[in-house]
């Protein structure tokens, strides 16, 4: 099992540029989560999907952020235009949601985004 795969590992971009973060969840998992880690807030949930459908995007900071999950094995988080305050580590996680509950989240290694 390769685990949750995120790319790129590091992204440095200039303010105003578009940034796309990618995630491949664990095969068989039907829930996918995007989190952002900052010193002040810890791990913040941005959005999550069940069976490729966005369930809750209330954590998305503003309209500059968007996420898609076109199929069960791929998701993107896009920031357009990016701003310096978006600099953080972005984590993708997946889990298996069944009738009895949800398995623990499995996280990828994150994408460290720096916006200058």
Partner 1 sequence: DQQVKQNSPSLSVQEGRISILNCDYTNSMFDYFLWYKKYPAEGPTFLISISSIKDKNEDGRFTVFLNKSAKHLSLHIVPSQPGDSAVYFCAAKLVDTGKLIFGQGTTLQVKP
- Rounded Cα–Cα distance for residues 58 and 110 (Å): 21
Pick 81 or 106: Cβ nearer partner 1: 106
Query: What is the nearest approach in angstroms of partner 1 to the Cβ of residue 101?
Result: 8
Token look-up 């309209």 returns 63
Positions touching partner 1 (CB under 8 A) are 4, 33, 35, 39-45, 48, 55-56, 91, 93, 97, 101-102, 104-110
Query: What is the nearest approach in angstroms of partner 1 to the Cβ of residue 42?
Result: 4
């Amino acid at each position: 099992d390769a685990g949750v795969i995120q790319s790129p590992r590091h992204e440095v971009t200039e303010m105003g540029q578009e940034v796309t973060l990618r995630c491949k969840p664990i095969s068989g998992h039907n829930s996918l989560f995007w989190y952002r880690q900052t010193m002040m807030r810890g791990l913040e949930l941005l959005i999550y999907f069940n069976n490729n459908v966005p369930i809750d995007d209330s954590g998305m900071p503003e309209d500059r952020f968007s996420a898609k999950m076109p199929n069960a094995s791929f998701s993107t988080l896009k920031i357009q235009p990016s701003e310096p305050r978006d600099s953080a580590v972005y984590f993708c996680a997946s889990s298996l949601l069944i009738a009895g509950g949800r398995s623990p989240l499995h996280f990828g290694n994150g994408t460290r985004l720096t916006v200058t």
